[in-house]
Chains A and B, each alone.
Chain A
Amino acid sequence: MHIPDGYLGPYTCVLFYIVMIPFWYRGIKWLKNLHPRQVPLLGVLTAFSFLVMMYNLPVPDGTTAHIVGGTIIAILIGPWAATVSISIVLLIQALFFGDGGITTYAANAFNMAVVLPFVGYYTYRLLRKKLSDVAAAGIGAYVALVTAAIVAGFEFGLQPYIQPGYCPYTFWVSVPAMAFAHLVTAGPAAAVVTATVLWYVKKSQPELFSMGEAEALRG
């Protein structure tokens, strides 16, 4: 889902940098309120979210897919932690590994560090009243990944209407293509993996599981 440089035109890139300002501002404010003890913890957890993207999951079409891990971090620590962590991961990937782009950095951050964790987190909170924690987390991860993919599809699909020379396909091609791929391949993988992670953490270290709850109470 990482959009490379050159896929989105200049207007879209600038627009997303403007859109991301309040989110990053809020994220940094959240960071400044952290207890100093939690700062190194967030550093290693950000490394963790970087690594989560390195697991190659086999999917039905014969290739492999990655998950973003935004929902896992949002549930275990809090959605703002996910916004900060994934923004940092995307920065490292864009600057050092040519994964994602520099002009498209804000758009990528919007999809994966804002849409994904928040949709995942609130879907989880909503479903938890009716389902078990583990099932709610799995469905949350699924809905989050598919939503983020559709949002990315919209960003691609906008390009031909603004100016030619960027992503060449309109909504009618890009949104179904992105949605379908994530609905049937990466989505189910993300759901099973996220649910298993939560199940495992809850089973072996239940006190870690309640961290996200405390975070939600503090607001």
Chain B
Amino acid sequence: MSKLIDKTVEEVASFIREAVFSERYAGREGFLQSVDPRAKLIALLISISVVVGARHIAVILFLYFLPLVMAALSGIPLRYFIKRVWVFVPIFTGIIALPVIFNVITPGRPIIVLWNSPYIAVTAEGLHAAAIFTLRVAAAVSYAILLTITTKWSDVMKALSDFRVPGIVITITTLTYRYIFLLLSILLDSMYSRRSRLCRKLGMVESWKEAGKNMGALFIKTQMMGEDLYYAMLSRGYLHSARSLNEFEFRKSDALFLTSAILLMAVVFIGDRWFI
């Protein structure tokens, strides 16, 4: 069967699965779910900046475990969380980091000698560099995933608009998110219908052309939908700006969460820079 169709369908299906899963945990009762999304967003930005700026492996390791504790407190199964973090990016990162462990890239004290001529060995410095790089990526990804897994899409958008992201950007982003799902089902249908009419494997260039035609058709449909959507919005009272119905309430517990997050990250940052 054609790789284009099968792989694309697979990608679309996994996308939908992830999206549905994320929303499922966001609706549950839990520690992070009860925090004001604005506080979470600020805490996330600070934490990720500290992760990216951290220099010591012990500090990065600590920063990696913190989101695991948060996830557990928020009722997210740890296996699902860890899998989601490591499957997405860091496995790829690990492959990139692999050559760094050898003396060819990072000279240093050899730990395991693989060959004598040419001389190839795993060095302590190399292992350290690869570990720091991989762990840092994993930690940063953990924080980002933690936010989205415990917060509903509409709440993140509302938080962004409270932070003065222009209304028109929020409107377009919200429309985009909604229409991704509708267009996905159109994309899936067209992939399936094409597949059911195929009686042989598609060649590589042939499948690129097939993808091009499919995208072209999708573009035309999208274009028509945009026009219809405008009239649909207008007939429902759209006044050129979108409003969110729920207002956030910044409670004492949110202030406490944000203050502790800022304090903790400040201590970690200062410790990493000056005391370790």
Report how far A40 CA is from B175 CA in the complex, Å: 7
Taking A39-B168, A44-B175, A48-B219 as given, write out 11 further A-B residue pairs in contact, using a Cβ cutoff of 8 Å, ordered by the A residue number.
Answer: A6-B137, A6-B140, A28-B166, A37-B230, A47-B175, A84-B172, A97-B18, A165-B133, A197-B212, A204-B216, A204-B217
* B194 in the interface (beta carbon within 8 A): no
What are 27 A-B pairs with beta-carbon distances under 8 A? A6-B52, A6-B138, A6-B139, A36-B230, A39-B171, A39-B175, A39-B240, A40-B229, A40-B233, A41-B223, A43-B175, A43-B229, A47-B222, A51-B187, A52-B215, A54-B187, A55-B214, A58-B4, A64-B7, A88-B172, A92-B173, A95-B147, A97-B88, A165-B55, A168-B96, A196-B215, A208-B223
Question: Chain B 146-177 against A: per-residue CB contact (8 Å), 1 yes, 0 no?
Answer: 01100001001000000000101101111111
Tell me if B176 and A50 are in contact (CB < 8 A). Answer: yes
Report how far A5 CA is from B138 CA in the complex, Å: 9
Query: In angstroms, how far is the closest chain B Cβ from the Cβ of A77?
Result: 10
* A96 in the interface (beta carbon within 8 A): yes
Binding stretch for chain B, among A7-15, A108-116, A117-125, A145-153 = A7-15
Query: In angstroms, how far is the closest chain B Cβ from the Cβ of A112?
Result: 16
Interfacial chain A residues near B183, Cβ < 8 Å = 44, 47-48, 51
Tell me if A55 and B176 are in contact (CB < 8 A). Answer: no
* B132 in the interface (beta carbon within 8 A): yes
On chain B, the number of residues with a Cβ less than 8 Å from chain A's Cβ atoms is 86
Tell me if B172 and A192 are in contact (CB < 8 A). Answer: no
* A144 in the interface (beta carbon within 8 A): no
Tell me if B48 and A102 are in contact (CB < 8 A). Answer: yes
Tell me if A196 and B212 are in contact (CB < 8 A). Answer: yes
Interfacial chain B residues near A205, Cβ < 8 Å = 220, 223
Tell me if A4 and B168 are in contact (CB < 8 A). Answer: no
Interfacial chain B residues near A97, Cβ < 8 Å = 15, 18, 88, 148
> Known: A40-B229, A45-B222. Contact between A57 and B129, CB under 8 A?
no
Interfacial chain B residues near A71, Cβ < 8 Å = none
> Known: A13-B52, A44-B175, A48-B222. Contact between A57 and B208, CB under 8 A?
yes
**B168 in complex: contacting residue of A31, A103, A194, A208, CB < 8 Å:** A31
* B179 in the interface (beta carbon within 8 A): yes
**Shortest beta-carbon contacts, A-B, top 3:** A196-B212, A43-B175, A200-B216
Question: Chain A 139-176 against B: per-residue CB contact (8 Å), 1 yes, 0 no?
Answer: 00000000000000000000000001111110000000
